[in-house]
Structure 1
């Protein structure tokens, strides 16, 4: 497959998506090419404070300062996203650019090496992954809406309302999907 790739875009679960791992999910696609896709669910916080699993990083994590459920793959591992500020001369040690100002933080790096060099850090348990062609097939089958992301989406202060907010800002009929009931059988 050659393009279109979805790196930097959001996958918004359609109401028809029945997989419990992704119901009402908003997934930020971190990398997508001919080898598959990788993303993290940005609207599913857990109750587990970052301080309980990665205490040295607590001061760098944005609110809510809890671990997020990034997806069903490798849930026993952590992945951290952070943004570098505009105008930064050099990329901070321990941070690897994905696209734009967003990158991955190497959690084995001493936090003090990144202090002041990143902002808006968020930690995810697990990630979402797709084999070559799998994501494109799921989009074609109607499981996901692919929409543009905004810089604040990955670090929103109110992640639990992100699904509706992302849909509401879309043009035309897609904005109406935001009003779709959680359980249509109760209508």
Structure 2
């Protein structure tokens, strides 16, 4: 745990919340759900970058299954020609074909869905589904270095975070619910020069 209340260890199922020090345009004011993290690197998806592209235009059979808004989200700058589907199970004891839980996330209910799975095999078993074009990726020790230099806050995920209808205030809302001084950061203006 850092002085500001953020955790310092990035693990699957945690959120990375961009700090004001992060100036990479791909990640300014972003909230990233970590899907995998180990000694070889880390992978996640940006939760608050909706596109204007309806899922049904790209993955026709999935258009009616995704959470509102029914658009693709920009998951990150890597592999933008591919897609990842993040889902939340209704019942952790009823795991459909094609679902793989993210270790340590939301009691095993949060995970990935294989988009090659026939939609009818998962319909009715999910509380939420969102599809991301691309992902955020870090090489071995790269993410740890970015956390150490103060580019990311590492905080717990709540089940609704990846599936919010309006993601515009996700960054602020995630920080606001954190303990101690970390919550104070939620009140900073998006453009500090306007302060």
Q: TM-score range by the shorter chain?
A: over 0.9
The answer to whether 1:25 aligns with 2:26 is: no
Shift of 1:6: 1.6
Deviations 1:124-164 (A, max 9, x none): 00001111100000000000001111111111122111000
The answer to whether 1:96 aligns with 2:90 is: no
CA contact (8 A) 1:60 1:119 kept: no
Shift of 1:4: 4.0
Give matches, 1:20-169, under 5 Å.
20-86=25-91, 88-89=93-94, 91-99=95-103, 100-169=108-177
* Structure 1, unpaired ranges of 5+: none
User: Number of matched residues?
Assistant: 184
Q: TM-score, normalised by structure 2?
A: 0.89
Query: Which contiguous aligned blocks of 4+ residues in structure 1 show a shift greater than 4 angstroms?
Result: none
Give the Cα separation in 2 of the matches to 1:24 and 1:87: 32
Q: What CA RMSD, in Å, does the superposition of the two structures yield over aligned residues?
A: 1.4
Give the Cα separation in 1 of the matches to 2:77 and 2:132: 11
Look up the match of 1:12.
17
CA contact (8 A) 2:88 2:159 kept: no
The answer to whether 1:186 aligns with 2:194 is: yes
Look up the match of 2:3.
none
* Structure 2, unpaired ranges of 5+: 1-7
